Amino acid sequence: MERNTEQSTEPSTEQPAPTPRQRVAFLGLGHMGAPMAGRVLAAGHPLTVWNRTAAKAEPLVAAGARAASTPAEAVRDADVVLTMLAGPDALRHVADEILPVLRERDGVHWVEMSTVGPDAVRALGERMPDGVTLVDAPVAGSTDKAAAGRLGILAGGDATAVEPLLAHLGTVTRTGPLGSGAALKVVVNTAVLGGVALVAESMALADALGLDAEVARGVLAQGPLGGAVARAFATDVHFGNGLAAKDVALATSTTWLPAMEAVRGHYEAAAADPDVADEDIAAAVTRIRRTREPRA
């Protein structure tokens, strides 16, 4: 029988292969971590979550995530581990718990998204077992952008395998080798926090001069500090004063930054004030204006 070599004109019913889903462990469900984890879950990735305060996982569990009681349990079957933790100490603690599990795995990708500075990332990189890839990918943006998937993601190291996943959270910028994302995040936060503190002191000066606060704020908003003015008076985002003090300390411990040393004092004082310690950095603006001292 002769073989028919003509191409069929019928439309193909064959469907493209579905996008591979990665099993994700998300550790750290604070103001930023919770909405980010929600984006991962909404994208269809099987998600296991862990948080030191277990109750914060409940909304994600109700939406379909699985809660783990320990970091080690969370990562046991993960293809990708995402960490969004408070700082270097929290990262070291979690690393101590999950690295023994990861040593038994191969092909796992750990994406460290906290603001911990490049030294902490490089130290973690030295502890990585063979077969586990570490990417530092801290984020720029606050809770509103996290919920909308519009974060800026600063990725250091080889992010090729995890970039499709990270795209659900925001726009990925490749920054260079491991640690470069963490380094650039310190630079970005230094600019933001310094700008907000400068707005606060400018408003304190306006108060001292008896100017109308709304008029002064409006004029400042039209100048080069416009973006910082908006952030200084934001009401729908959250960047805690304790985290701000930690981030400025990461910058001032790296090199001599005399202006930022003064800024660090502002945020450390706010973090120590029980009235505003857990509030957004906008509360530090109010505190700076309230505690101004007149020149003799």
Which among 56, 145, 185, 246 is annotated as catalytic?
Answer: 185
**Amino acid occupying residue 168:** H
Q: Please give the structure tokens belonging to residue 170.
A: 């925001």
Q: Please give the structure tokens belonging to residue 173.
A: 């910028």
What's the sign of the alpha-carbon dihedral 219, 225, 226, 232? negative
Question: What are the distances in angstroms from CA 245 to CA 143, 186, 290?
Answer: 18, 12, 19
Q: Which residue from 157, 178, 140 is spatially nearest to 36, judged by alpha carbons?
A: 140
| Residue 185 known to be catalytic | yes
**Contact yes or no for 121/177 (Cβ under 8 A):** no
Q: Tokens 């984890």 — which residue?
A: 37
Q: Tokens 């902490």 — which residue?
A: 120
d(CA 56, CA 52): 9
Residue 178 burial by Cβ neighbours in a 10 Å radius (0-12, 13-18, 19+): buried
d(CA 36, CA 39): 5
Beta bridge partners of 133: 109
Catalytic residues: 185
